[in-house]
């Protein structure tokens, strides 16, 4: 099965040779939900090609090395530009990220705000906001890293498997989910 799925790649990631990456075969799954948050509807079937993924999560230590070598600044560390968020409350335009912080008593399991708080200053170096740090946590998975931050870290031929263009990738599925109301049930 692995050999057939490898035909989707024009070449293999270098990390495959060291065993740091594993191949996840493609398939079809049901994306979304008709019973939870409105933005997840409608539930529909999506097919994706196989893809390569790191065997383990990226650690704080690995991400720190990447930042030290490149000077990368994560999206959580950048103050959003008001023109990109028309109608946003001015006081909500600050560098930060969502932090898991459930209330002592959850009354509505469908209300994400009872579980998560948008916290000023929360980022990969300060996972619980200002005052927290990752000292002695180099072997823990990095948090508050966006898709574009991950792309920046893993850019280049050593970390990616270039797909033959057909649009069926995990990223393509995520991007088209909302625009596919007529997708296969």
Identify whether residues 30 and 77 lie together within a single domain.
Answer: no
Identify whether residues 83 and 159 lie together within a single domain.
Answer: no
- Tell me which residue range forms the domain holding 4: 1-57+147-177
Q: Which of 75-79, 152-156, 181-185 ranks highest by mean pLDDT? A: 75-79
Please return the burial class of 22, using the count of CB atoms within 10 Å of its CB with bins 0-12, 13-18 and 19+: middle
Identify whether residues 125 and 70 lie together within a single domain.
Answer: yes
Identify whether residues 135 and 77 lie together within a single domain.
Answer: yes
Identify whether residues 5 and 36 lie together within a single domain.
Answer: yes
Predicted local distance difference test score (pLDDT) of residue 11: 54
Predicted local distance difference test score (pLDDT) of residue 102: 78
Return the structure tokens found at 159.
């970390």
What are the DSSP E strand ranges found in the chain?
21-24, 27-31, 44-48, 51-54, 96-100, 116-120
Residues 65-93: tens digit of each pLDDT: 999 999 999 999 999 999 999 999 999 89
**Total structural domains within the chain:** 2
Asked, for residue 184, whether it belongs to a domain, the answer is no
Answer whether residue 54 shows pLDDT above 60. Answer: yes
Identify whether residues 71 and 119 lie together within a single domain.
Answer: yes
Residues 132-150: tens digit of each pLDDT: 999 999 999 999 999 999 9
122 or 163: whose pLDDT is higher?
A: 122
Return the structure tokens found at 85.
């968020």
Asked, for residue 105, whether it belongs to a domain, the answer is yes
Q: Taking a C-beta distance cutoff of 8 angstroms, is the pair 42, 34 a contact?
A: yes
168 or 18: whose pLDDT is higher?
A: 18
Predicted local distance difference test score (pLDDT) of residue 9: 56
Identify whether residues 35 and 111 lie together within a single domain.
Answer: no
Predicted local distance difference test score (pLDDT) of residue 111: 83
């Amino acid at each position: 099965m692995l050999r057939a799925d490898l035909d989707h790649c024009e070449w293999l990631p270098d990390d495959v040779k060291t065993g740091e990456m594993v191949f996840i075969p493609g398939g079809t799954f049901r994306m979304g939900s008709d019973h939870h948050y409105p933005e997840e509807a409608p539930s529909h079937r999506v097919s994706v090609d196989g893809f390569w993924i790191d065997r383990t999560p990226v650690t704080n230590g690995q991400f720190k090395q990447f930042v030290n070598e490149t000077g990368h600044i994560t999206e959580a560390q950048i103050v959003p530009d008001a023109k990109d968020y028309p109608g946003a409350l001015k006081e909500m335009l600050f560098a930060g990220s969502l932090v898991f912080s459930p209330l002592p008593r959850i009354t509505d399991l469908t209300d994400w705000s009872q579980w998560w708080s948008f916290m000023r200053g929360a980022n990969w170096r300060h996972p619980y906001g200002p005052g927290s740090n990752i000292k002695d946590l180099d072997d823990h998975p990095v948090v508050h890293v966006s898709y574009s931050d991950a792309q920046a870290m893993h850019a280049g031929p050593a970390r990616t498997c270039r797909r033959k263009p057909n649009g069926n990738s995990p990223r393509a599925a995520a991007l088209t989910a909302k625009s596919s109301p007529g997708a296969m049930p």
